[in-house]
């Protein structure tokens, strides 16, 4: 069964450094998402992306965050200047259609900011 893959599985970064999290969505999916989960808390929506544009974003997704689809297979989340509170699990998801269609998640990247 096709799956969403994320790399790396664990990223340790110094505060203030830039970090890029990578995702390969399911190949025939057109809609891509990032969510995060701070330890012990609920999964929170960050951003959705379609046709090379952000289609929706949450208040968490401020100017330090950006997303990109640099080629036909990868989808990336960049955090420009990391803060301690950015430490979390970051999940990528994809779906074939938006709006009430199943979103399939990767296994996440654990981001630890020191």
Partner 1 sequence: GENVEQHPSTLSVQEGDSAVIKCTYSDSASNYFPWYKQELGKGPQLIIDIRSNVGEKKDQRIAVTLNKTAKHFSLHITETQPEDSAVYFCAASDGNEKLTFGTGTRLTIIP
Binding interface with partner 1 (CB under 8 A): 4, 6, 31, 33, 35, 41-45, 48, 55-56, 58, 91, 98-108
Cβ distance 102 to 4 under 8 Å?
Answer: no
The dihedral formed by the CA atoms of 13, 74, 58 and 97, expressed in degrees to the nearest 10: -150
- Which structure tokens are listed for 45? 């929506």
**Shortest Å distance, C-beta 60 to partner 1:** 11
Pick between residue 2 and residue 16 the one whose CB is nearest to partner 1.
2
Phi, psi of 97 (to 5 degrees): -130, 160
Pick between residue 13 and residue 50 the one whose CB is nearest to partner 1.
50
**Shortest Å distance, C-beta 43 to partner 1:** 4
């Amino acid at each position: 069964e096709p799956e969403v893959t994320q790399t790396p599985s664990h990223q340790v970064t110094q505060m203030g450094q830039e970090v890029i999290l990578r995702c390969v969505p399911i190949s025939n999916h057109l809609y891509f998402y990032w969510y995060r989960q701070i330890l012990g808390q609920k999964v929170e929506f960050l951003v959705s992306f379609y046709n090379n544009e952000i289609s929706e974003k949450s208040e968490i997704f401020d100017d330090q965050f950006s997303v990109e689809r640099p080629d036909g297979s990868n989808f990336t989340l960049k955090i420009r200047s990391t803060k301690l509170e950015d430490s979390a699990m970051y999940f990528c998801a994809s779906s074939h259609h938006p709006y009430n269609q199943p979103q399939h998640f990767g296994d996440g990247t654990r981001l630890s900011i020191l």
